[in-house]
Every structure is written in C-alpha cells, then in structure tokens.
Structure 1
Amino acid sequence: MTQLNADHCYIFTDTETTGLDINFSQILQVGSLLTDENLVVEKEHSLFSKLLPWIVPSPEAFLVHKKTECLNEDSPTHYEMMCQLREDWLNWSINKNPVFITYNGHRFDEELFRRQFYWCLLPPYITNTGGATRLDLMYTFQLVANFFPNSLTVPMNEENGISLKLTDWAEANKISSINAHDAVADCYLMVNLSRLIAEKVPEVWNSSLRGSSKDGNLRLIQSEPFAMIGEVIRKSRFTYPVTFCGQNNKMQNEVAVADLYFDPDTLDELSDSELLEQISNAGTAIRKVRINKSLPIMNALDIPSIHDTLDIPFEQLEERANKIRNNTKLQSRISELLTNNQIQYPPPKYVEQSVYSGFPSKEDELWMERFHATPWQDRSKLIDGFEDSRYRELAERLICVHETAGTPDQSLKRYNTFISQRLSDKGPWLNIDNTLSKIEELLKKEEDEERKNILIQLEKKLKKMATI
C-alpha cells in the first residue's frame, strides 16, 4: 500500500454502551487502535468501566455486547476510564496529528465521547481540536456503494437494498466478524475494511481523509468542476452533482450547496421567501450540509465512471456550476438567509444534555485542572469555585461517587435525591421498575443459556441498586 499521509496517525475507536440515548447512556467499554499512515496497527487498548450508580442499562444492549464485567463493583470507575482514555489518546498522538476514525461515530460514539468527557470535567473536543480531525467510515462506504460498486462487494439484502452495517460490509468482503460487538474487535473490522478501500479505491479513501476536517470538506464542496454527493438512504442509492452556494456567517459549519440537476437561472428569479423555501425543504435546489462532520462527497473528476452516473451531460453540469460560482450576489443572499433563519432550540432540561450550552470560561478551565490534581477527600472544597452551575453539579456528582468522606451533608442529600429520582422516576432515561419488568419478559422467552445468564446477572445488579 502506498504511503498516504506521513504527518498523520489514525486512531480507530468504538464503544459499547448501556443504551442508544446519547444523553443518558453510559460508555462501558472503549476500544481504540493506533495505526500509522499505512494502516499498520501500533498500539491498542480496551478500557472498561463499572456502571454509574444512576444509570439503568438496557437489557437488549447487554444481550448484544455481553459486557457483564461492567456489573462488577471492582471494575474501574467511569471517571477513571475517561481519564485513561484521554491520556492514551494524547500520548499516542504526541508527535503526529491524529485522525479519529469511527463507524456511525458522528451520530453516536463521538457524541458520547464529548458528553462523557464533559461529565468528567475534561475537555470534550479532543477529537477535533489541537490538530485532530475525524472521519466517519459510514460515509466512506456510501461513496463506495454509489460510485465504485465493483471495487468492493457491496452487501445487499433480499430486497436488493444496501446494508450499512459494519459487520455486513466485513462479511461481504471476506473479513471475519466473529467477535463483533466488542469495541476492539469492531476497531479491527474498521482497520481491515479501510485497508481494502485504500488499496482498491484510493480515490475514495483520499477524499474521506480530505473531508475529515472542516476546511477539507469546504474545499471538496468548492472543488472544480463540481462535486458529487453519494448517499445511501433507506438502503437506496442517491447521487447529486453539487457546488458551493453560501455559508452561514454566524455558524460557519453550516454550508449551502446547489443541486446542479436544477437550473440555476431560476434561483435568481425567486424572492427571499421563495429562496428560503428552497433552502429549508427537502428535494429542492439547495441543500444544507455541515462541514464539521464527514460527508459522502468527492470531486467529480475522481470518479472514473462519472459520465455513467449523471442524469444530464457533464458539460451542462459544469456550465451550471460555473454560473453559481460566479454569481456572488446569489451566494450573498443565500448566506444571509442561512444566517438570519437559524433554528432556535429550547434550552436543555438536564445537565447531561448541556455540553453545547457554552464553552467554559478560562477560570473554570483552570479550576478543572486544579480539581483533577486535588485528592478526592479535598475536592468538595472546590465545588463552589466553579463559575458555571453545570460544572458545580457535575463536580458534586463525581465527588459523591468517589469519596463521601468530608463531603458536605447538603451535597450528599442532593446526590441521594438525584439517585432516587433517576432510578425510579420516568424520564428520558430508563428506570429500574420498567427495566426489571422487561428482563422478566425476556427471560420467559429466552432459551439460550448464555443470554439467560446475562439477563439474570443484570437483574441481580438492578435489584441491588434498588435497595441502596
């Protein structure tokens, strides 16, 4: 394999969790592999955590990953796991800029990492700051499925729909997935599939690497003569020729692209309200994309079979792209509409959901460093030193989990009330009563002894949590 990017290293990473809700699920296992620029594995780790006292796990999740060691009180704490994860990643990338590679990670694993570093008062954006970039392989596979379907075996179901499951791609291409749903094993699946893509379709691999940064994605969108988006939605292929046509001035991760299958001359004739409808609705001439995440996009000239892919002639699309590229007035109008019509979301109700509610002040950042360096028995004295109420609440939880000696009675009272509410109340989280009922229901139907044993262990753990 040719040397691809000598000043970078790649960190493939995956998680196993208590459930699918990114705000209220806990990471139980993190697997990571460090590879060089030739995708040769140099280091690996598998980090585990015991359950947080307020997290009720999904029994279905445990039946998939089978991580019953996380029910053991002797396992490392969640805070210890997250601190070790940060330390390993920083050490692995001390001499090279890391590209963090996940599978469906921009919707799930990456969001979990950010939230759970934040819960632990650690910097949440380790995968896209300080020279780090991030790549979601799911979008790489979509490019393969749309533009290079004969280079790898694309997994199809009985209805001729495309599967985007990692294990299906591995098995279709003769890569064993026998230990799938272990975080480290899934990382090896990603590495092996990445090697295959880099070898057989370097155009896709290099485009994906380019798109691992915001600037790289923007350059791809702006590339000449035009770019191609290749998506897999509901197991079907969709391709679009696109070019840049605007950017949100306040939130620059939001970019507008023009679908070149639509005649750009008609856009100039639209009023602002009509143009906004084109931006806001599906299936119209303008689409919004986010350049801070992987996109299934590449330059049209990097697709050898491009003429077979298009619905109208290449030259006509090139002409349309040039029109939009040179129409700075239209770009300014679209940029202004994006800027003035941002969706306003209600403030989050719970602290776990508040990772995006503002960056910490410099003072709070320094206070976090002091917090981590202070012995547990003395950390309760630092709670009120945080300016931001989010960090006071999270610090109090961390202290009550690790060291109750010396913790003020008011803190312990709040913590115990919080635990009681999370285990018993209905909310966006799972509670014990409903989950125990679910386990009982599953046990009645289950015939496999290993799966029965997992459910019994989980049931025992939850009953113990209910009595504390």
Structure 2
Amino acid sequence: MGFVFYDLETTGISPAFDQPLQFAAIRTDDSFVEIERVNLRCRIAPHIIPSPHALIVTGVTPAQLVDPELPSLFEFTQTIMEMTERWAPATWVGFNSIRFDEEVLRQAFFQNLQPNIYATQLNGNNRLDILTAVFAVWCRNPGLMHWPTDDTGRTTFKLDRLAPANGFNAHNAHDALGDVEATIHIARIIANGDPALWSAILHNRDKQNVMATLETFRPVELVLRFGGGPPRAYVGCFCGTAAGNPTNAAFFDLEAGDPEILIQADDAALFQAVDGTPQIIRSIAANKVPSLFPIANPNPDHLRKATLIAANPAFRARVGQAMAARYVEDPAASPPPVEKQIYSGFYSKADRDLLAEFQRADWSRRRDIVGLLTDVRLRQLGRRLIAFHAPEFMSVDEAEQYKAFLRERWNAPDAPGTEWTTIASAMRAIAELRAKPGGDREILDNMAAFIGVLMRGAHHARL
C-alpha cells in the first residue's frame, strides 16, 4: 500500500491553539522508493499569534506569515485533505507524529470544517510513528543504530541528532521536507537492518491486530518512554478495556503487581493500581500504533498470572470501570474552548453532508450552511471562518463578537488554561531572545513590529 512520510512546521507547540505553516510529504512504495513529493506553505490565521521561539527555529519571517501569494490555512487544509483521498490507501508516517503532527493536522481539519478529521485512518489509510519504532530498536536491537547524546551527555532521540549520527548528512533540520527525508532514512535503517522487527512494528498499525495480540492473554512486551529517561520494555498481559472505549486497552504489568491480590481488592485499591505510582495497570491506545511485541517463551510465573486474569472476566470489567473513572469530567466546570472539544462527539450524517457542501461552496452559501449545522462546535467554528474570510457577510453584532474574541484571545492572562501565545507572552519571548548572545536583531525587531500591529489592532477593537 506504500507510505506517506510527512512533517509539519507550526506556529508553536500546542496542537489545539497553534497551526501548521508548512506541510511536506514524500509518498513512497513499500521499499521507500519515492513516487511523489509535495512542499506546501500557508498564511497565518488571523487569530493566532506565533511563538517567537517557533519562528526562530523554523526560520519563518513575519512577512511570510502574511504573504498574500500563499494560500490561507483554510485552502491549505483543503489541499491536504485532497491528498489523503488521492493517495489512499497508504500508511501516514512521521517522527513523533502520533503525539504532535497528527493532532495538529486533525485540529486544522476540525477548525476549518473538513467533514473527516480522521482522514489518515480511513479509506484504507493507517498510521505509523518512527520515533516509537526507534524506541523499539533501543530495547530490542540496540546495536542496529548509533545513539547520539545531547549537550548534557544524555542519550537523545531527537531527529536532528539521530539522523546525522546514523549517516544522514544532508539533514536540513526544522524544515518540514528535510525532516521527512531524515525520517525515511531512519525507517530504511530499521527495515533493512532488522526485517523481523520492522514487520512486527508494521503489524501494530492495525488496531484489530493490536487487540488480537492482547486478547490471547499471553504475556507480551510493551515498549514505552517516560520523561527524559531511556525507553524500557514492560512485560504484561491484557486486562480488559476501558468502559465505553473499546480501543483503550488495559495492560497489567506482570512484574510490578500480582493479580491474585488485586482481584480481592476493593475499588479504591484497584483505582490506585490504575492511576497511582507505581502504575500496575497501564492504558494502551490500540489505535495509536503501540510498540507491542509477543514473547516467544514467557516466564512461567508471568504465564500463571496471565492465566488468572484470563479466567476472571469480572475483574477485567472492574478494571475497565476504574480506567474510565480517570477521565470523568466535572459537570459543574465551565465548557472548554471549542478547540479542546474536538473529541466531544462524532458529527451527524446531516452535518457531515453540510460540511462537504461547505468545502465546495462560495462564501455566501457557506454563511447559510453555518446556520444549518446542528453541532454547536461546528457553528462556532463556521462563524469564525466567516469572520476570517468573508466579513462582509457578518452582522453588526457578529462583528462585535469577533472583535471581543480577538481581544480576549490576544490579551488572555497567564493561567494554566491559556495554552496559546498572547501579546504579552510573545513580547516576553522576544525580550528573552534579545538577551541571548548571537540573536539576529533584525529578525527580532521584525517580530516585535508584527506583534505591535496586533497590539494596535486590539486597542482599536476596544474603541
């Protein structure tokens, strides 16, 4: 089915509140022979303030952010969606993509009213993350690669050091296309150097394969990495699924706990096993390509414990309830920003059909379509898009609401819920960068001028 290796460069590190500025992809066959490549850029959306640190890393200038020759983010997402459909079926591959690039891409689809935010998982598509594969190499065949260190002497798994350490000397780091080429290089090393391991990694692309492996109740090895430490392998077995979420599997750590004790334990002790430290029962997202590997000759004690879990469906059901309880929302809490509601429910068929029409229509018709949507999230995002791209179709009240939205977003206080770059945080970042030796004064001055324009716009919006 072939691969689509891709990477995004973004305005910052928040998938919900930043946006892609560059999308690069190289489509290959199963042997990594290139078939096609694309390299796209877009303008910044009107409500987003870019992180100065992100601009320094990517080399994007304020002038490029508003270049009228570049497509809008809305048009950018339309082009990428067309590729996901034209290239299907394919495996979409990145480096740390499951945790970051994929989430950024989904948010871009969501916030720009694409009907299918899960495009890289449907129409025969699936996903793979080479960073997760690298962790598996570290644990299962460490001699396959050279392991670079960072400035403190600790092993680093960052692509900009890992690729050069393993023979990729043309790496243009922090450019999306350069990162794509480096990712292909690392994937080729794994596939050619350990075909059996690569085959096992590919097997986990399919959530049905993952669940089938788990539901044998045989001990398996799960490779994970936490914090800044090295990856490690955990031996465990299937222990049920979270209530209401069949792709969220429970993994009982057979070295950390004894199921015979927990089967007799009360609900509080069981919840501690799921949510406490050390964590005896872990969560595996079967649809996020976990590094899960069968064990040919399991330890007899591990087999005994796994057999006990297999024979106790009531215990597995209790585990599922404990896992679900970790994510119970406070009904009295204020609703989160619409960006954080991306997974709050699937669209109705009627709304999906309207969104498909929205993508093809002109802005006059799009204004009408927004009023027909039943999902409140989509209506809010649709009104935002009208404000961005067709303000002439806004009422006076809607225009005032849009100005208020910009004021509140740009001038939000420093608080845990403020996950986006504000005017104040951007100016602080520029000051920090100016204080560092070797900073490019012209670039920083241009950034400050760009933020200054936004500050004046926020001031006028109050008048």
Q: One fold, TM greater than 0.5?
A: yes
**SS of the residue aligned with 2:121?**
coil
Q: CA deviation at 1:85?
A: 0.7
Aligned-pair Cα RMSD in Å: 2.4
Q: Does 1:188 find its partner at 2:173?
A: no
Measured in 2, the distance between the counterparts of 1:358 and 1:130 equals 20
Compared CA separation, residues 239 and 444, structure 1 to 2 (3 A): closer
Q: CA deviation at 1:223?
A: 5.0
Report 1:305-324 matches (<5 A): 314-324=299-309
Compared CA separation, residues 178 and 191, structure 1 to 2 (3 A): closer
Contact kept in structure 1, 2:21 and 2:43, CA below 8 Å:
yes
* Cα deviation code 1:54-77 (max 9, x no counterpart): 111111111101122234233211
Q: Which range is displaced more, 422-431 or 384-393? A: 422-431
Q: Which range is displaced more, 197-206 or 377-386? A: 377-386
| Equivalent residue number for residue 466 of structure 1 | 455
Q: CA deviation at 1:348?
A: 4.1
Query: TM (normalized to structure 1)?
Result: 0.88
> Which of 251, 256, 262 is the aligned partner of 1:257?
251
> Which of 267, 286, 303 is the aligned partner of 2:281?
286
Which one-letter code corresponds to 1:369 in the other structure?
A: A
Q: Does 1:380 find its partner at 2:367?
A: yes
Measured in 2, the distance between the counterparts of 1:254 and 1:224 equals 16
Q: Does 1:389 find its partner at 2:380?
A: no
Which one-letter code corresponds to 1:317 in the other structure?
A: H
Q: CA deviation at 1:203?
A: 2.7
Q: CA deviation at 1:235?
A: 2.2
| Equivalent residue number for residue 399 of structure 2 | 412
**SS of the residue aligned with 2:173?**
coil
Measured in 2, the distance between the counterparts of 1:224 and 1:39 equals 35
Measured in 2, the distance between the counterparts of 1:109 and 1:203 equals 27
Compared CA separation, residues 216 and 87, structure 1 to 2 (3 A): same
Measured in 2, the distance between the counterparts of 1:247 and 1:141 equals 27
Measured in 2, the distance between the counterparts of 1:398 and 1:125 equals 21
Measured in 1, the distance between the counterparts of 2:317 and 2:74 equals 47
> Which of 90, 100, 103 is the aligned partner of 1:98?
90
| Equivalent residue number for residue 351 of structure 1 | 338
Measured in 1, the distance between the counterparts of 2:205 and 2:284 equals 14
Report 1:25-64 matches (<5 A): 25-64=18-57
Contact kept in structure 2, 1:253 and 1:292, CA below 8 Å:
yes
Any unmatched runs of 5+ in structure 2?
Answer: 458-463
Amino-acid identity (%): 26
Contact kept in structure 2, 1:211 and 1:295, CA below 8 Å:
yes
Contact kept in structure 1, 2:53 and 2:429, CA below 8 Å:
no
* Cα deviation code 1:69-100 (max 9, x no counterpart): 2342332111011111111221122xxx2211
**SS of the residue aligned with 1:255?**
strand
Contact kept in structure 1, 2:386 and 2:393, CA below 8 Å:
no
Measured in 2, the distance between the counterparts of 1:238 and 1:290 equals 18
> Which of 94, 108, 112 is the aligned partner of 1:120?
112
Measured in 1, the distance between the counterparts of 2:81 and 2:266 equals 50
> Which of 128, 133, 138 is the aligned partner of 2:131?
138
Q: Which range is displaced more, 201-210 or 119-128? A: 201-210
Report 1:429-440 matches (<5 A): 429-440=420-431
Measured in 2, the distance between the counterparts of 1:41 and 1:58 equals 34
**SS of the residue aligned with 1:106?**
helix
Contact kept in structure 2, 1:140 and 1:204, CA below 8 Å:
no
* Cα deviation code 1:161-197 (max 9, x no counterpart): 4322112221221112531101111111111100110
Q: Does 1:21 find its partner at 2:14?
A: yes
Measured in 2, the distance between the counterparts of 1:323 and 1:203 equals 31
Compared CA separation, residues 349 and 268, structure 1 to 2 (3 A): closer
Measured in 2, the distance between the counterparts of 1:341 and 1:466 equals 41
Q: CA deviation at 1:26?
A: 1.4
Which one-letter code corresponds to 1:82 in the other structure?
A: T
Which one-letter code corresponds to 1:14 in the other structure?
A: D
**SS of the residue aligned with 1:16?**
strand
Compared CA separation, residues 272 and 391, structure 1 to 2 (3 A): closer
Contact kept in structure 1, 2:171 and 2:179, CA below 8 Å:
no
Measured in 1, the distance between the counterparts of 2:123 and 2:194 equals 30
Contact kept in structure 2, 1:383 and 1:396, CA below 8 Å:
yes
Which one-letter code corresponds to 1:375 in the other structure?
A: D
**SS of the residue aligned with 1:143?**
helix
Measured in 2, the distance between the counterparts of 1:281 and 1:232 equals 17
**SS of the residue aligned with 2:182?**
helix
Contact kept in structure 1, 2:135 and 2:224, CA below 8 Å:
yes
* Cα deviation code 1:11-55 (max 9, x no counterpart): 112111111122211111111121111121211111111111111
**SS of the residue aligned with 1:176?**
coil
Measured in 1, the distance between the counterparts of 2:303 and 2:291 equals 20
* Cα deviation code 1:406-436 (max 9, x no counterpart): 4333322222222233233334322224423
Measured in 2, the distance between the counterparts of 1:437 and 1:248 equals 43
Query: TM (normalized to structure 2)?
Result: 0.88
Q: CA deviation at 1:160?
A: 6.1
Q: CA deviation at 1:102?
A: 1.8
How many residue pairs match? The answer is 446
> Which of 64, 67, 89 is the aligned partner of 2:60?
67
Which one-letter code corresponds to 1:56 in the other structure?
A: I
Which one-letter code corresponds to 1:288 in the other structure?
A: S
Any unmatched runs of 5+ in structure 1?
Answer: 1-7, 307-312
**SS of the residue aligned with 2:103?**
helix
* Cα deviation code 1:254-275 (max 9, x no counterpart): 2111222244433333334323
Q: Which range is displaced more, 136-145 or 255-264? A: 255-264
| Equivalent residue number for residue 4 of structure 1 | none
| Equivalent residue number for residue 109 of structure 1 | 101
**SS of the residue aligned with 2:142?**
coil
